[in-house]
Amino acid sequence: MAYTIGIVGATGAVGQELITLLESRSFPVKELRLLASARSAGKTMAFKGKEISIQETRPEAFDGLDIVFFSAGASISRDLAPEAVRRGCVVIDNSSAFRTDANVPLVVPEVNAHVLREHKGLIANPNCSTAIALMGLNPLHKAFGLKRFFAATYQAVSGSGVKGMVELEKQIRAWVNGETATPEVYAHPIAFNLFPHVDVFLEDGYTKEEHKMANESRKIMGLGNLAISTTCVRVPVMRAHSIAINAEFERPVDLAKARKAIEDADGVDLVDDPASNRYPTPQACTGVNNCAVGRLRVDSALENGLSFFVAGDQILKGAALNAIQIAEALPR
């Protein structure tokens, strides 16, 4: 069976990756409809050797589509995703608009693909840091029973879209040339810098991004009372996120069993040989579908604890790839 597919936000970084993945993974596409803002309408993008004209994102553009990927921001998703569902589409939304909605499945297929049986036409794709972190956490949860975890993220500028990537490149070029570049996307210069500030700060001192990671992890893993504390950090990396995690488990941990759990898990590679300088790095994970887990060790401060490091491509497993995997896992 082939599907008529739509992509809202086709010209953005995630939209472009969705187009590439539909082709490289041989997803059964009968027709591809590319949707974007009015200023992009009429331009063309390539798919399977053909140029496809971009259409303006309007309600009638959803008519006749089977699956629509939304990747144009929460406000557009809130306005138009329900309309697409009313017109008979299955919507896979990459924004934060519906992730905490109890009636909308929030899915990382390697973790909770079974909830797709319950969808009512709208499915949420998780936050990028959440998806990447759970690729390391979930196999260990299956082995030992997750009790709580602490995380510090090292988030690439691609999390801010193309504009974040452009800002990092501009600032690096300015630094090389002895010039000063004024920050526009971020509150501080990002080149050769980092800051513990991703998304807006809330009254409790955490950022919205940190709350997303905690709330989404509980929902996806089905652990409503899971204790989580996170610090999200923006770093001068182009497009792969990394996360340092300290996790405490219900049952005694065993390093050999932990490594085996990661090795046996889908979508993740064990990269864990510090003696040979082998551990996950964002550069090695860029453009790679699988996430990487390494630096596995017994945590010295937590009972039944493990410390480890996970990295993954923010645009792939953190966004576009996870969305495509959801579509591939949909009940037929």
Question: Which residues are tagged catalytic?
Answer: 128, 241
**Alpha carbons 134 and 265: distance in angstroms, whole number:** 11
Q: Where are the alpha helices (DSSP H) in 25-65?
A: none
Task: Return the structure tokens found at 160.
Answer: 């801010």
161 close to 12: Cβ distance less than 8 angstroms: yes
**Alpha carbons 266 and 283: distance in angstroms, whole number:** 21
12 close to 160: Cβ distance less than 8 angstroms: no
Task: Return the structure tokens found at 308.
Answer: 């480890």
**Alpha carbons 252 and 267: distance in angstroms, whole number:** 25
Burial of 332 (0-12, 13-18, 19+ CB in 10 A): exposed
**Beta carbons within 10 angstroms of residue 12's beta carbon:** 22
DSSP character at residue 316: I
**Alpha carbons 229 and 211: distance in angstroms, whole number:** 9
261 close to 140: Cβ distance less than 8 angstroms: yes
Q: Say which residues have a Cβ less than 8 Å from residue 99's Cβ, sequence separation at least 6.
A: 106, 124, 126, 127, 212, 215, 216, 219
**Alpha carbons 12 and 243: distance in angstroms, whole number:** 25
